[in-house]
């Protein structure tokens, strides 16, 4: 669970909230912000003593996340095309949403991951399970090939037809690391450069183009992009309590070409979440740990995620990477304003590196070595109110948004 700096990020638009989702999870943070925050209260993930060995030089962390409603997109794609291999990407989504959070505290190995598949056995056959399990193993091997030692600790497949008409895919990762190797995001301060790594394109360890969508905001993206055909044919893929005007209300089918892209809408929405593990491993070998003031994974909260870390910091993001076509299409079809888009979607940059300006060239060179587009997207300065953090984002349209 991510630690927090008190700040209300409420204000999700009606379309997002009507589908039963929250971009800020204020009600969750209202509870968890009051409980023990562990050894490093300002770190990106909760860190505890190493209770397994009781070694005072080490610490431990456990992280749980999953692919979310992206598994429903895989279901639609499989039912329409018969291609069950699409679920291999869902396995990757679930793993990456865990390990890329752990990267932000310095975990690049000594990690066990366990996955849980909750399915309706009448809808999800053994063929799909095989691709999910094989996809897990293949992706973990890819990480190990790049030096990131993460192993499978097993998993669970639960037949819970009363809970889900299709399936969900979740994972839990546990890691041990030295306390003196922890990246503590509480060190983020004014005077730093913000370097962002792109979520789209084709990096050195990807074989196909990535749209950059990752695994956040997919409930709204799916309904805003896809047309009523899917509501009529696959009622098992949405909550019957959602008002009909918010259900599959877009103009596209999965096989349609995504405007401005070589990808179809289906392939763009299903692009497996990119991991930055190979990059972070190289970063921590190249730069002294003290030179990395923070790593922020722009998952829930997107470009406002950083507001929860550091104290009295104003995050100025005035030079964003180009907006990938998938986000342009979502905004166009949903008419979502810029403030909400940048709070829900990564908008093309999903990992932020906080370093002193002198270290920016080294960070950019490391990203380039893995064919990941990167650039300095902004800087940190003192907040106008020392009691809170602030985020200022300049959208591609030129609009300046303050959070």
Name the pLDDT band for 53 (thresholds 50, 70, 90). Answer: confident
Domain ranges of the chain: 14-402
At residue 140, does pLDDT exceed 90?
A: yes
Please say if the pLDDT value at position 3 is more than 60.
no
**pLDDT class for 27, splitting at 50, 70, 90?**
low
Residue whose tokens read 């063929």: 127
Indicate whether 7 pLDDT > 50.
Answer: no
Question: Three-state DSSP class for 311?
Answer: coil
Joined together, the tokens standing for residue 203 give 């990096």
Residue 5 has what pLDDT? 38
CB 225 within 8 A of CB 328: no
SS3 115: strand
CATH architecture of 14-402: Alpha-Beta Complex (3.90)
DSSP 62: E
pLDDT given for residue 36 in this prediction? 84
In 261-356, at which residue ranges do the beta strands (DSSP E only) sit? 294-297, 313-317, 349-355
Asked if 175 and 110 touch (Cβ cutoff 8 Å), the reply is yes
Q: In the prediction, which pLDDT does 37 show? A: 85
Could you please report the per-residue DSSP string of 361-391? HHHHHHHHHTT--EEEEEEEEE-SSTTS-EE
Whole-angstrom Cα distance, residue 263 to residue 201? 11
Tell me what the mean pLDDT of segment 341-352 comes to.
97
Predicted pLDDT at 32: 62
Residue 12, pLDDT > 90, answer: no
Neighbours of 296 (CB within 10 A): 25
Q: Coil, helix or strand for 8?
A: coil
- Which whole number is the average pLDDT over 179-190? 98
Q: For residue 200, how far is the Cα from the chain centroid?
A: 13
Residue 4, pLDDT score: 38
Look up the pTM and report it: 0.92
Judge whether 64 and 257 are in contact, CB under 8 Å. Answer: no
Q: What is the pLDDT of residue 52?
A: 85
Residue 16: is its pLDDT beyond 70?
A: no
* pLDDT of residue 24 exceeding 70: no
As a whole number, mean pLDDT of residues 18-32 equals: 63
Three-state secondary-structure class, residue 22: coil
pLDDT at position 72 is 97
Q: Which of 65, 66, 63, 206 is CA-nearest to residue 142?
A: 206
- Rounded to whole angstroms, how far apart are CA atoms 107 and 297? 13
Sheet holding 294-297, edge to edge: 294-297, 349-355, 193-198, 374-382, 313-317, 390-394, 400-402
Q: Tokens standing for 313?
A: 């910091």
Phi and psi angles of residue 146, each rounded to the nearest 5 degrees, phi first? -100, 10
CB atoms within 10 A of CB 63: 24
In whole angstroms, give the CA distance from residue 135 to residue 317: 36
Q: In this predicted model, what pLDDT tens digit does every residue of 280-320 receive, in sequence order? A: 999 999 999 999 999 999 998 999 999 999 999 999 999 99
Specify the residue for token string 């929405």: 269
Measured distance CA(166)–CA(122) in Å, rounded = 8
Q: What whole-number distance in Å separates Cα of residue 217 and Cα of residue 8? A: 19
Does the pLDDT value for residue 33 go beyond 80? no
- Residues 96-126: tens digit of each pLDDT: 999 999 999 999 999 999 999 999 999 999 9
Nearest-angstrom CA–CA distance, 126 and 109: 31
pLDDT of 10 over the 50 cut:
no
- Rounded distance, CA 194 to CA 2, Å? 20
Residue 308's nearest CA partner among 137, 164, 177, 186 is 186
Computed over every residue of the chain, the mean pLDDT equals 93
The model's confidence at residue 6, banded by pLDDT at 50, 70 and 90, is: very low
Q: Rounded to the nearest 5°, which phi and psi values hold at 316?
A: -105, 115
The structure tokens listed for 43 are: 């770190």
Task: Tell me the Ramachandran region of residue 292: left when phi exceeds 0, alpha when psi lies from -120 to 50, beta otherwise.
Answer: beta
Please state, as a whole number, how many other Cβ atoms lie within 10 Å of the Cβ of residue 82.
Answer: 8
pLDDT digits (tens, 9 = 90+) for 231-272: 999 999 999 999 999 999 999 999 999 999 999 999 999 999
Q: What percent of the chain has pLDDT over 70?
A: 92
């Amino acid at each position: 669970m991510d630690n927090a700096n008190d700040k209300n990020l409420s204000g999700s638009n009606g379309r997002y909230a009507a589908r039963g989702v929250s971009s800020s999870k204020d009600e969750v943070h209202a509870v968890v912000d009051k409980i023990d925050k562990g050894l490093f209260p300002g770190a990106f993930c909760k860190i505890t003593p190493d209770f397994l060995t009781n070694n005072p030089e080490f610490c431990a962390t456990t992280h749980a996340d999953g692919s979310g409603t992206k598994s429903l997109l895989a279901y639609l794609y499989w039912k329409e095309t018969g291609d069950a291999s699409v679920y291999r990407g869902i396995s990757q989504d679930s793993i990456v949403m865990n390990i890329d959070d752990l990267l932000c505290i310095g975990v690049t190995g000594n990690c066990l991951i366990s996955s849980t598949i909750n399915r309706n056995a009448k809808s999800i056959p053994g063929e799909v399970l095989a691709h999910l399990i094989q996809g897990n193993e293949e992706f973990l091997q890819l990480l190990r090939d790049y030096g990131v030692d993460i192993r499978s600790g097993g998993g669970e497949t639960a037949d819970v037809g009363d809970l889900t008409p299709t399936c969900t895919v979740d994972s839990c990762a546990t890691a041990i690391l030295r306390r003196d190797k922890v990246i503590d995001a509480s060190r983020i301060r004014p005077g730093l450069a913000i370097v962002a790594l792109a979520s789209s394109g084709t990096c050195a360890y990807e074989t196909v183009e990535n749209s950059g969508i990752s695994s956040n905001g997919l409930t709204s993206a799916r309904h805003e992009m896809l047309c009523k055909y899917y509501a009529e044919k696959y009622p098992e893929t949405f909550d019957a309590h959602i008002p009909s005007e918010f259900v599959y209300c877009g103009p596209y089918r999965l096989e349609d070409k995504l405007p401005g892209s070589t990808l179809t809408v289906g392939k763009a929405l299903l692009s497996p979440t990119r991991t930055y593990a190979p990059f972070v491993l190289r970063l921590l070998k190249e730069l002294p740990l003290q030179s990395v003031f923070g790593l922020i994974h722009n998952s829930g909260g997107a470009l406002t995620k950083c507001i929860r870390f550091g104290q009295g910091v104003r995050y100025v993001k005035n030079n964003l990477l180009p907006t990938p076509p998938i986000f342009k299409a979502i905004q166009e079809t949903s008419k979502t304003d810029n403030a909400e888009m940048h709070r829900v979607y990564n908008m093309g940059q999903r990992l932020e590196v906080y370093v002193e300006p002198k270290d920016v060239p080294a960070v950019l060179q490391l990203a380039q070595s893995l064919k990941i587009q990167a650039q300095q997207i902004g800087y940190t300065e003192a907040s106008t109110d020392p009691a809170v953090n602030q985020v200022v984002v300049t959208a591609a349209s030129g609009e300046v948004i303050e959070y």
